[in-house]
Amino acid sequence: MKSWVEVSEQRLAANYRLLMEAAGAGTAVLAVVKANAYGHGAAICAPVLARAGAKWLGVTDVAEGAAVREALTSEGISSAMQPEILVMSGLIGDEAGAVVRHGLTPVVWDRQQVEWLAGAVSRAGSGVPLAVHVEIDTGMARQGVRPGEDLDELLGWLRAQSGLRLGGVMTHFASSEIAGSPQTVEQAGLFEEAVGAVKAAGLQPAWVHAGNSSTVDNQGVKNFGEGSPAWLRRLAASVGARSMVRTGLALYGYCLPIEQASVSSTKEDVVRPGVEPRLQHVMTWKTRVIGLRDVRPGDTVGYNAIFSAQRAMRLALLPVGYADGVRRELSGSDTRPGGWVMVHGRCAPVVGRVSMNLTIVDVTEILDVAVGDEAVVLGEGITANDHARIAGTIAYEIVCGVRASSRLV
């Protein structure tokens, strides 16, 4: 195999338990396994998280939900012990049947979704109502129903469908990594209003949920009121529901750095540490050296000759490139150093352009490198944060971009 991802079962479970503890007693933690568990492999991460105690998993669409359900079943987790699976990003009509068949919980925000699902429940004919969660758009403007008339109308359509019941009410924050963000405060206010409207409509959701990894990490911030897990607990309790946060990236050991809302806010406003320093990276992406080559001073390396050897060098060839998720920004040129991989525990800098399926690294200083030796593309010594910094993006995009099969270690 040219490259593979090793997923640490122990670290994934430890991160989940840390997030549960940090979210606080009485707040559930939904484990997000969308996007193939952020590149880690949903089929292997979902059972680990279920065994670690996750009562809820989050996926983006119905196909992911069905695959996760099947993985849980084939791992021998009895249906009574299986987590609920929240389908967070909508559905289209012909997927409604699969929602019912696989026992998924869809997030809904418009009439058409409600009707598709009600139709599927009635066709299934089990007589068991399907729980749906309503998403409130409090400012993300991506999906969700606006509080006010639109919400009241949606609740009316929901109530009219005997095949559906309101299992939860949720929203999503746009700026949760920004300490003291006025946007979060505004979103929290709108969410309170919406939850109040649900109660006024005589509906009784079991769950009220909001917040992501940064929401939990941000608990290190002083005066974190609206939008915090504690605020969410009070809001949920006010309608007799349980509260839940939805964490993704932090499960896998990464978290965006907390930013300050304004230049006038001081360091003292941010009380570190949150959970971030205690999270453990779950993914180790490995490959093997498939070739070695000695080059002379003046030889150039790779496409467009952006790197030229200043001295005799020994180069190792790795069978991974940008098609596998090695960012092209990691290329190393004469004027700009790029990324690196770890060989025998030491840094081997990338030289020349990262190609589609191949990357060349400098192993001149590393003794006894042989064809077949392992190289760590991402893991101990070179993290997704390193890749992200060099590529000018965030760790989310790096881990999601890794295309290699995973195995538990």
Ligand X SMILES: *Cc1c(COP(=O)(O)O)cnc(C)c1O
Catalytically active residues are 34, 303
Enumerate the β-bridge partners of residue 87. 59, 106
Mark the segment that binds ligand X (CB under 6 A) among 43-51, 246-254, 314-322, 364-372. 246-254
33 is an interface residue for ligand X by CB under 6 A: no
Among 22, 249, 366, 400, binds ligand X (CB under 6 A): 249
Q: Taking CB under 6 A as the rule, does residue 133 contact ligand X?
A: no
Q: How far apart are CA 23 and CA 38, in angstroms?
A: 21
Whether residue 184 contacts residue 178, with contact meaning beta carbons closer than 8 Å, is answered with: yes
Cis-peptide, bond into residue 47, ω within 30° of zero: no
Q: Is residue 406 a contact residue for ligand X (CB under 6 A)?
A: no
Interface mask toward ligand X for 85-104; x: CB under 6 A: ---x----------------
Cα separation, 347 vs 317, whole angstroms: 15
Candidates 63-71, 231-239, 240-248, 295-303; binding stretch for ligand X (CB under 6 A): 240-248
248 binds ligand X (CB under 6 A): yes
| C-alpha–C-alpha distance, residues 224 and 250, integer Å | 19
Choose, by CB under 6 A, the member of 212, 287, 333, 359 that binds ligand X.
Answer: 212
Q: Quick check: 247 binds ligand X (CB under 6 A)?
A: yes
Closer CB to ligand X, 166 or 343, in the complex: 166
Q: DSSP for 216-260?
A: HHGGGBTT--TTSHHHHHHHHHHTT-EEEEEESGGGGT--PPPEE
Tokens (6 digits) for 256: 């965006």
Task: State the minimum distance, in angstroms, from the CB of residue 169 to ligand X.
Answer: 13
CB nearer to ligand X: give 250 or 391: 250
Q: Which of 15, 213, 331, 364 binds ligand X (CB under 6 A)?
A: 213
Structure tokens given for 39? 């590149």
Contacts of 35 (CB under 8 A, 6+ apart): 60, 400
Candidates 29, 32, 318, 384: give the one binding ligand X (CB under 6 A).
32
CB closer to ligand X, 276 vs 362: 276
Please report how close the Cβ of residue 383 comes to ligand X at its closest, in angstroms.
16
Cβ-in-10-Å burial (0-12, 13-18, 19+) of 76 comes to: exposed
Backbone phi and psi for residue 135, each to the nearest 5 degrees, phi listed first: -95, 130
Which of residues 36 and 212 has its CB atom nearest to ligand X in the complex?
Answer: 212
Nearest to 119 by CA among 139, 150, 95, 153: 95
Nearer to ligand X, 139 or 302 (CB): 139
Smallest gap from Cβ 354 to ligand X, in A, equals 26
Residue whose Cβ sits closest to ligand X = 248
Q: CB-based contacts of 389: which residues, under 8 Å, 6+ apart?
A: none
Q: Which residues contact 198 (CB under 8 A, 6 or more apart)?
A: 134, 151, 155, 166, 169, 205, 239
Q: Which range of residues in 112-120, 185-193, 244-252, 315-323 is near ligand X by CB under 6 A?
A: 244-252
Under rule CB under 6 A, residue 105 binds ligand X? no
Interface with ligand X by CB under 6 A: which range of 248-256, 263-271, 295-303, 312-320? 248-256
- Asked whether position 246 contacts ligand X by CB under 6 A, the answer is yes
Residues near ligand X, by CB under 6 A? 32, 34, 88, 172, 212-213, 246-250
